[in-house]
């Protein structure tokens, strides 16, 4: 039986004393844990006070083209402050959130466009843009993550698309937590703000290998993105987004551009034809389950074609 140190010595003595133990109700689990009060459950005045106290150099996390971000000390949150907000960001506080806020990990809104967001441990690709050795080590960690990690990132991007938002796939907008095997996209914008073709798979490849990658590492990352995409076509599974948005051809072209061979044009035609067939079969299989075997066969065929891309 494990007992946390939050017990006082007197209680620990009583628990370990056979005389007192017989009066205690047995615990139903091996560990007792008392959860601390969440930062967002504090009174509004206390929240704003702690946010203000956190805006110091040692809590600085980074900055982009529009804002800078600080960790809120001793919490699982950070605060994003637009440059134009200056010192006016603490005049308001609200927990009413839009889908746009939720996709961008916002948990509370301040004034002047500032916001409280979830904090994620990890590294961003941008940190290693000028150091080849460190970048290759960083990307190797990414390549060793399970397909599940890639699938979760794809689902994040798909969820944004459902809310008419697109991932801004730049080197500062992906957090890689190699310990927890987690990939987290952190910046999305509205479709109407910057209209562009939707290419989730090739964009995943671009950001996971940005600033250049080793041949073998890039291939491992590419293969896992392929596997994550094809998982959505398994019989009986509802894809995380419209099948038309699975850009297998564009992903393969992105990879071919780094290792072009004379056979690439033929491979592109075969991938395009089989990817189109896969999408048509999947749409039909959602209604007609007798097509499951045909779908499985087509998944194997397209996987074989995509895996040949070097």
Closest CA to 213 of 269, 152, 154, 259: 259
Q: What is the mean pLDDT of the chain?
A: 87
Query: Which residue in the block uniquely carries the two structure tokens 């600080």?
Result: 70
Question: Would you state the torsion angle of the CA atoms of residues 216, 147, 287, 245, taken in this order, to the nearest 10 degrees?
Answer: -60
Tell me the C-alpha to C-alpha distance, in Å, between residue 299 and each of 252, 269, 274, 290, 293: 16, 17, 9, 16, 10
pLDDT tens for 96-133 read: 999 999 999 999 999 999 999 999 999 999 999 999 99
- For 42-60, what is the mean pLDDT? 95
- For 249-269, what is the mean pLDDT? 83
Residue 61 has pLDDT above 50, yes or no: yes
Query: Which residue in the block uniquely carries the two structure tokens 């080849």?
Result: 132
Least confident range of 12-16, 253-257, 298-302: 12-16
Distance CA 17, CA 1 (A): 14
Strands of the chain, DSSP E: 60-63, 67-71, 77-82, 93-94, 106-110, 115-118, 165-167, 174-177, 182-185, 188-190
Residue 209 has pLDDT above 60, yes or no: yes
Least confident range of 15-24, 77-86, 110-119, 295-304: 15-24
Q: 3-class SS at 184?
A: strand
Residue 24 has pLDDT above 50, yes or no: no
- For 20-33, what is the mean pLDDT? 38
Contacts 24+ apart (CB under 8 A), 292-299: 292/235, 292/236, 295/233, 295/235, 296/235, 298/274, 299/230, 299/233, 299/234
Residue 273: pLDDT band with limits 50, 70, 90? very high
What the block records as the tokens of 84 is: 């134009």
Residue 310 has pLDDT above 50, yes or no: yes
Looking at residue 295, its pLDDT comes to 97
Least confident range of 19-23, 34-38, 80-84: 19-23
CB neighbours of 275 closer than 8 A, spacing ≥ 6? 246, 248, 249, 302
CB neighbours of 171 closer than 8 A, spacing ≥ 6? 124, 125, 126, 129, 207, 210, 211
Distance CA 14, CA 192 (A): 66
Residue 6 has pLDDT above 60, yes or no: no
Where exactly are the structural domains of the chain? 39-118, 125-307
- For 225-229, what is the mean pLDDT? 98
**Residues above pLDDT 90, as percent of the chain:** 78
- For 191-200, what is the mean pLDDT? 90
Cβ–Cβ < 8 Å for 116, 107: yes
Residue 4 has pLDDT above 80, yes or no: no
Residue 227 has pLDDT above 80, yes or no: yes
């Amino acid at each position: 039986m494990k007992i946390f140190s939050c017990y006082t010595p007197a209680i620990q003595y009583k628990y370990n004393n056979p005389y007192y133990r017989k009066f205690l109700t047995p615990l139903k689990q091996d560990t007792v844990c008392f959860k601390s009060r969440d930062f967002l459950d504090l009174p509004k005045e206390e929240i704003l006070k702690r946010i203000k106290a956190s805006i110091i150099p040692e809590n600085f996390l980074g900055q982009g083209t529009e804002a800078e971000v600080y960790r809120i000390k001793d919490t699982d949150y950070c605060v994003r402050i637009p440059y134009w907000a200056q010192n006016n960001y603490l005049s308001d506080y609200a927990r009413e959130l839009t889908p746009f806020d939720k996709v961008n990990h916002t948990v509370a809104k301040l004034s002047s466009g500032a916001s409280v967001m979830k904090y994620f441990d990890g590294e961003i690709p941008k940190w290693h843009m000028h150091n080849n050795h460190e970048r290759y080590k960083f990307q190797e960690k990414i390549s060793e993550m399970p397909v599940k990690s890639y699938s979760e990132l794809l689902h994040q991007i798909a969820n944004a698309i459902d809310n008419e938002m697109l991932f801004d796939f730049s080197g500062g907008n992906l957090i890689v937590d190699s310990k927890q095997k987690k990939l987290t996209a952190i910046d999305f914008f509205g479709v109407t703000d910057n209209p562009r073709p939707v290419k989730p798979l090739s964009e995943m490849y671009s950001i996971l290998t940005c600033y250049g990658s080793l041949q073998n590492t890039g291939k491992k990352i590419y293969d896992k993105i392929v596997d994550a995409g094809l998982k959505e076509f398994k019989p009986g599974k509802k894809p995380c987004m419209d099948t038309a948005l699975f850009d297998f051809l564009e992903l393969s072209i992105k990879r071919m551009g780094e290792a072009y061979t004379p056979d690439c044009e033929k491979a592109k035609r075969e991938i395009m034809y089989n990817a189109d067939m896969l999408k048509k079969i999947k749409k039909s299989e959602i209604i007609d389950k007798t097509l499951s075997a045909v779908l499985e066969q087509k998944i194997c065929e397209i996987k074989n074609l995509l895996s040949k891309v070097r």
